[in-house]
Amino acid sequence: MKRILLLSFIVLYSLSIPAQDYYDVYQTFSSSVYPYTIKIPKSFSKTTAKSQNIDLKFVDQYGASILMNVTPRLPEEYKITPHDQTKSFQEAGMKSVTPNYTITRLENRYVDGQKAQIIESIGGVDPRLKMIECTIYYLNKVYLITGTIDKQRFDSYRQLFENAIFSIDFK
């Protein structure tokens, strides 16, 4: 009996490995300007960004978006990292533009070996939305990845957004 169960488990497991290739829900995009790739859910479509520093922009049918904003760093910023930024510092900077801005989560992490800071927030430009942002300093640029969706759907999108963030691969 144990032998049959073991054999059944081995057969089922071996059949599931090739099937994983069919269920890959991400597609890889390379920047044509900057040295990185990112994996975006296949349910998102690449679109043209209208803002100056947006390198890549993706949207889905429910209004979710993933943006990659790349800006130059100032030489005086070269000695700091995203881990040096505090919640109060980040909130104060944003509240001067959007008074209702509130950070609901701040976490220091690493993305592709680079120090990164992840912030979830509400009360930005559109109060109906919730966003997750990840700031990474790489070489002489600031990479800001932002995932945005309405507050009601955010929890179901969080993992998709985080998977995109942690898929970044600097070349």
pLDDT at 3: 59
Quick check: is 7 in a domain?
A: no
Quick check: is 143 in a domain?
A: yes
Q: Total domain count for the chain?
A: 1
End-to-end alpha-carbon separation of the chain, Å?
52
Question: What is Dmax (Cα atoms) for the chain?
Answer: 70
CATH of the domain at 76: 3.40.1000.10
Quick check: is 114 in a domain?
A: yes
Quick check: is 135 in a domain?
A: yes
Say which amino acid occupies 141.
Answer: K
Question: How far apart are alpha carbons 68 and 146 in whole angstroms?
Answer: 7
Strand pairing class (36-41; 45-47) = unpaired
Quick check: is 3 in a domain?
A: no
Quick check: is 117 in a domain?
A: yes
Residue 68 pLDDT > 50:
yes
- Structural domain range at position 151: 24-170
Question: How far apart are alpha carbons 39 and 158 in whole angstroms?
Answer: 15
> Can you read off the two tokens belonging to residue 86?
């505090």
- pTM here? 0.82
4-42 per-position pLDDT tens digit: 544 444 444 444 444 444 567 899 999 999 999 999 999
